[in-house]
Structure 1
């Protein structure tokens, strides 16, 4: 990646003095560049007013960032400029993601558990796909819902991710310790590493590098493994809010934790998955309950090239983590928009399913079952399929299905001497067509 022009302290000072008399167009351009935290590779192509060069513009950008620069990890010179755009995004997240706002305002309590399960699955699948898991979402979701054993490494990665997220949710209020960090890594990498003994163990050499997946060029060489013991101590203090630092908004702090673990690369493998899990944990620990319902890794997976570039920009531009912070704040925005779209779809689906409540003695869950058969007329479902979908006991599902069999909406199909599946019944189309009239 091309290095940006060097800007000396003297040039920064002169640019700061010059800012007061800048043409409005240039001032707004600098603000826009920093609101999006753009690097030199984009800045050098910006259209400019007469009399300005791109080197001049870059000096103004750097000077503007210096005004609000915060040092967050002195040993590695990790710093960033806290921009107005970042503060606005964090304020919006505070209003939507946590605090005293009740989740029932956005997510109905009767459906919360099912939405949560679906979100956890999406997060587990996407985070694993980021690291090369090749299983499709459909197959992966079916495996997780039915709790079937993973058939290969890709599926094992997804199961590990899912179980790790569940572990974090259960332990979200506990402090981060070295033992907990190793446990999270062990859960995340179980049966997926070339050498199984590397699970839950810090690397003990400097042979680990990060390569471009296509060109195999080295894009990151982590600090020496000898630094890891002290780093882990500092990371735990940072995570647990035990060390005096300038106030950093909790969401930005979570992003810094994500970056630092990935940057230090304390493990032979599984660093990306573990760093995203730590971010997720920190957000929950800080009271951002909505994080449980967001599939953050799905957005990162869709924009993997930008995710990787955010790391590269940081290292190329003197460890300015602002690029990574800005990218991840945008990811959170998109993840929240995805959740809103998902909830709207579910509301529409429930409206359609409510039509089937006009069938005598059919409850809401049975109405949703009928909708599932209407949407997938050739499919067969078992008690276990519906149990995992509706999060109730097998006895409850069996009772629901027995009534639907009695009224001819579905019929049983023997699978073996004990197990049965259920398909559309002989009266299904007739009953449904009458409801539509």
Structure 2
């Protein structure tokens, strides 16, 4: 193949859609292009497709924005293991992606320590328990702990027909992933222990794959294998977060990843479909479409939150200089945990915090606005604030 044509195809925006590439160029050009990628550019993963061949991806188009890395590595001032606001958003979004009904009121009730009242609230309670499980750094990613996470967050709340057998770590029968048509059959159940064992080994081995890319690989592979009858998507998203937490990305617990996925849900599922469609043309499972989706729609979007990370650094400096009182510290931690980046009023903060007079709350808000940590927006005769 001519080098100019190869470089043109390599930089084409449609590179993740081989069918469109065939229309744009030709079937023979795409065949030659794939052959060159196989021999010169594809990176092989120590994970296998259903036929036993290695999964591959293109490293050159799966680069992560460094500001996303900085944000996720930034230590949080708040002492809570998981932001309450982030937990609420994560629970609501991961269930919405699966078309499981969940109201914000129910989520707040469960997060407030109340027992679930119905099936939908059981689902909420399960994800809450799952998030608390992965927030504990002592819970290393092992096959036994993965089973415990699944049972804790999903398995215990399923219908009897979808539950794992008492002596099984994974499903004991075959499963089909069905949309408007059958799109994929999960890995044959007899192979799951072997393939999942390889995944756990991959998770814990040291390699040159960027942590954020590797987390997305893990996410894809769990959904691809479909090791459970139900709850594979929820489990994949939890394990994605779990891996980042274990690698030291402490702020992953403050980012509701699933809300970004839910906002781009159509593209999330399209990435899976493209991988299957491309495999029919190339004869291999190239997971670049999924990695590209995650980098563009989730990781790179995190760079927009960088200003909040800078705000936290300013606060940390002020705290070390002794310019923040103990009560102000408590109010600030409360604002971060409960409101996140959402707006609140002084009256709302007084009511929700419950341990400070209105004058104290108002003084805190005005001081932190002056310091550049809060931003006030006037609405008619009311002012609402949010973290800058």
Contact 1:30–1:57, Cα closer than 8 Å, also in 2: no
Distance in 2 (CA, whole Å) between partners of 1:97 and 1:64 is 36
Q: Name the structure 2 match of 1:133.
A: 100
Distance in 1 (CA, whole Å) between partners of 2:41 and 2:251 is 29
Distance in 2 (CA, whole Å) between partners of 1:153 and 1:61 is 51
Deviations 1:391-437 (A, max 9, x none): xxxxxx44x249879xxxxxxxxxxxxxxxxxxxxxxxx9x9xxxxx
Summarize the Cα distance change of 1:184–1:366 in structure 2 as closer, same or farther, 3 Å threshold.
closer
In structure 2, which of residues 36, 41, 64 is the aligned counterpart of residue 89 of structure 1? 64
How far has the Cα of 1:82 moved from its partner? Answer: 2.7
Structure-to-structure mapping, 1:172-211, within 5 angstroms: 174-177=140-143, 179-195=144-160, 198=163, 201-206=169-174, 208-211=175-178
Distance in 2 (CA, whole Å) between partners of 1:239 and 1:366 is 39
Q: Name the structure 2 match of 1:123.
A: 90
Summarize the Cα distance change of 1:253–1:227 in structure 2 as closer, same or farther, 3 Å threshold.
same
Q: Name the structure 1 match of 2:198.
A: 234
- TM-score, normalization by structure 2: 0.72
Summarize the Cα distance change of 1:284–1:37 in structure 2 as closer, same or farther, 3 Å threshold.
farther
Summarize the Cα distance change of 1:342–1:295 in structure 2 as closer, same or farther, 3 Å threshold.
farther
Residue 18 of structure 2 is aligned to residue 40 of structure 1? yes
Q: Name the structure 1 match of 2:239.
A: 278
Distance in 1 (CA, whole Å) between partners of 2:156 and 2:344 is 38
Distance in 2 (CA, whole Å) between partners of 1:303 and 1:78 is 28
Contact 1:172–1:285, Cα closer than 8 Å, also in 2: no
Contact 1:211–1:218, Cα closer than 8 Å, also in 2: yes
Distance in 1 (CA, whole Å) between partners of 2:328 and 2:68 is 37
Give the number of equivalent residue pairs: 335
How far has the Cα of 1:311 moved from its partner? Answer: 1.5
Structure-to-structure mapping, 1:51-62, within 5 angstroms: 53-55=25-27, 57-59=29-31, 61-62=33-34
Q: CA-atom RMSD, angstroms?
A: 3.9
In structure 2, which of residues 276, 280, 291 is the aligned counterpart of residue 325 of structure 1? 291
Contact 2:137–2:245, Cα closer than 8 Å, also in 1: no
SS where residue 11 of structure 2 aligns?
helix
Residue 248 of structure 2 is aligned to residue 290 of structure 1? no
Consecutive unaligned residues in structure 2, runs of 5 or more: 314-326, 362-380, 384-388
SS where residue 71 of structure 1 aligns?
strand
Relative contact order higher in (CA < 8 Å, ≥ 6 apart):
2
In structure 2, which of residues 264, 269, 274 is the aligned counterpart of residue 303 of structure 1? 264
Residue 127 of structure 2 is aligned to residue 161 of structure 1? yes
Summarize the Cα distance change of 1:78–1:306 in structure 2 as closer, same or farther, 3 Å threshold.
farther
Summarize the Cα distance change of 1:84–1:119 in structure 2 as closer, same or farther, 3 Å threshold.
same
Summarize the Cα distance change of 1:172–1:315 in structure 2 as closer, same or farther, 3 Å threshold.
farther
Structure-to-structure mapping, 1:358-437, within 5 angstroms: 385-386=352-353, 397-398=354-355, 400-401=356-357
SS where residue 33 of structure 1 aligns?
coil
In structure 1, which of residues 152, 156, 164 is the aligned counterpart of residue 118 of structure 2? 152
In structure 2, which of residues 36, 42, 46 is the aligned counterpart of residue 69 of structure 1? 42
How far has the Cα of 1:251 moved from its partner? Answer: 2.5
Residue 234 of structure 2 is aligned to residue 269 of structure 1? no
Give the greater-gyration-radius structure (CA): 1
Distance in 2 (CA, whole Å) between partners of 1:319 and 1:301 is 25
Contact 1:307–1:327, Cα closer than 8 Å, also in 2: yes
Summarize the Cα distance change of 1:256–1:91 in structure 2 as closer, same or farther, 3 Å threshold.
same
How far has the Cα of 1:262 moved from its partner? Answer: 1.3
Structure-to-structure mapping, 1:237-256, within 5 angstroms: 237-241=201-205, 247-256=208-217
- TM-score, normalization by structure 1: 0.65
